[in-house]
């Protein structure tokens, strides 16, 4: 899309792909949706089925032209995460539980202070981990081979 790069990029993103958000400014104000994509280089997010615009696409080889309805990005400041308990928009804070795990919590006026769960879509890997060793993988017998003995100094490189 044709925006110039954001002058001040958001360093610590609190909105993640898959979050349930409410649009707080713009033509879809007050509507909720799920974040489809986060564009960090422009401080923008795309919400599923919201901020729809008509886009004229010229016909070319391999695709047909016409007028299509697409979701346009919204600035990240125009959306807020929905509190899972109250269902109202809230700010997002970070807390550490007793066992040391980092969690997102709702904060702000009228917020419940409850934990905002990490979206399930982020837990799914797009490409599965390989189960069979490839040609560039080190064999397990070489990985487990003991090459240095700290007591005798065997295996220490000559410097």
Q: 95, 113 in Cβ contact below 8 A?
A: no
pLDDT per position as a tens digit, 94-119: 999 999 999 999 999 888 889 999 99
Cα gap 105→120, rounded to integer Å: 17
Cα gap 86→32, rounded to integer Å: 14
pLDDT of 5 strictly over 70 = no
- Residue 120 burial (CB < 10 Å; 0-12/13-18/19+)? exposed
Structure tokens at 114: 């409850």
Which has more pLDDT, 7 or 58? 58
User: Rg of the chain's alpha carbons, rounded to an integer?
Assistant: 24
Tokens 């000559």, located at residue: 158
pLDDT per position as a tens digit, 46-94: 999 999 999 999 999 998 999 999 999 999 999 999 999 999 999 999 9
pLDDT of 149 strictly over 70 = yes
Q: Give the single-character DSSP code of 137.
A: S
């Amino acid at each position: 899309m044709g925006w110039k790069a954001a002058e001040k990029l958001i360093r610590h993103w609190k909105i993640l792909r898959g979050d349930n958000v409410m649009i707080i400014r713009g033509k879809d104000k007050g509507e909720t949706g799920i974040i489809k994509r986060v564009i960090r280089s422009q401080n923008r997010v795309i919400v599923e089925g919201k901020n729809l615009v008509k886009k004229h696409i010229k016909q070319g080889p391999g695709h047909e032209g016409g007028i299509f309805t697409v979701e346009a990005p919204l600035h990240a400041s125009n959306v807020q995460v929905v509190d899972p308990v109250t269902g109202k928009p809230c700010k997002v804070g970070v807390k550490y539980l007793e066992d040391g795990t980092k969690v997102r919590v709702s904060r702000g006026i009228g917020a419940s202070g409850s934990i905002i769960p990490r979206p399930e879509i982020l837990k799914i890997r797009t490409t599965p981990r390989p189960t069979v060793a490839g040609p560039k993988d080190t064999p397990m017998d070489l990985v487990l081979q003991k090459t240095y003995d700290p007591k005798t100094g065997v295996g220490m490189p000559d410097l």
